[in-house]
Amino acid sequence: MQQHQIRNTLLLVLGALIWGVAFVAQAVGSGYVGAYTFLACRSWLACVFLAGLILVRRRLARRFQARPAASAVPDRRKALLGGILCGVFLFAASAAQQMAVGTVSTAKASFLTALYIVLVPLAGFFTGNRPGWRIWLCIGVSVAGLYLLCMAGQDTLSLSGGEWQLLLAALLFAVQILLVGRYSPHADGVELSFFQFATVSVLSTLFTFVFERPSWQQIAGAAGAILYCGILSSGIGYTLQIIGQRGLDPTIASLAMCLESVFGALSGWLMLGQKLTLTELTGCVLMFAAIVGTTVAERPSRKTGRKDTSEAAE
């Protein structure tokens, strides 16, 4: 169980790394096309990539005559239902975030959106998955690090309309994380990811036609950013989320995924020449320490081989 938790946490950290670098691509793409257009293009590209991956896997399975046991066969109906539900909340969260980012500072937007790391464990009180005190300690350390990275000395926490939209986005992202945690154990990860982005694609395309008028020249200008965000950030990153969350406590998953803010800051430093202060670097260290702490918080007892009683129930 410990190896399973570490492996899946590392998958989510890899996904967070991909999403963090995507901040650079999104910054470039936003200079060419609107938010809904960019979301629609990257989501359709993710669908094409995932559909190709599904076909390749099926052909390889037929070629090598791989037949899983009946109990191991994923439920395609649950993949469809879960994908639609996850897609609706992912689209709503992304739209709420995008509508607000132009009205507040980037620092405040990053901080408020990533507050799903608190909302996910709070939801555990209603779903019967209550984190222990050690996990709450890791959450506190992570929030402190997030504040130092995004907010310290830069802004205040007085809430206006845009800030409330970002809190709504954090809530919607938290629901999406919980839905992935619910459906990923019962569905094929790639298929669930495909149905999720098919839903996002349809919704974002409808909103594009209603609110934006993109041209092919604009889309061509953002082609590089769309390719990265479509294939890597959406196609691979969110599939890693679905696979990584399988059997993993949603609270630990949210802590791992909030490292997106860290990798976003580091990628901006390396690729865009944006400077990081000692305070911001301290925030990065604290957030990484919180992730390492979650693996220690759920270590098995040496005497009994059982988990520590302070941890969350699985």
161 burial via Cβ count (<10 Å: 0-12, 13-18, 19+): exposed
pLDDT tens-digit profile of 90-146?
A: 999 988 877 776 566 666 667 777 788 888 888 777 766 777 777 788 888 888 887
Do residues 45 and 228 make contact, with C-beta atoms less than 8 angstroms apart?
no
Would you state the structure tokens that stand for residue 284, as one six-digit string?
């990065």
**Mean pLDDT value across the chain:** 80
Q: Give CA–CA dist 37/24, Å, rounded.
A: 17
Backbone angles phi, psi at 18, to 5 degrees: -60, -45
The 3-class secondary structure across 40-93, one letter per residue, is HHHHHHHHHHHHHHHHHHHHHHHHCCCCCCHHHCCCHHHHHHHHHHHHHHHHHH
Q: Give CA–CA dist 83/190, Å, rounded.
A: 10
Choose among 153, 69, 73: nearest CA to 107. Answer: 153
Q: Does the global pTM surpass 0.85?
A: no
Taking the CB of residue 295, how many other CB atoms lie within 10 A of it? 15
Backbone angles phi, psi at 300, to 5 degrees: -70, 150
User: Which residues, in sequence order, are CB contacts of 299 under 8 Å at separation 6+?
Assistant: 2, 307, 308
Look at residue 220 and tell me whether its pLDDT is greater than 90.
Answer: yes
- When pLDDT is averaged across residues 175-199 and rounded to a whole number, the result is 91
Do residues 228 and 77 make contact, with C-beta atoms less than 8 angstroms apart?
no
Lowest mean pLDDT among 170-174, 177-181, 274-278, 297-301: 297-301
pLDDT tens-digit profile of 40-93?
A: 999 999 999 999 999 998 888 777 765 554 444 567 888 999 999 999 999 999
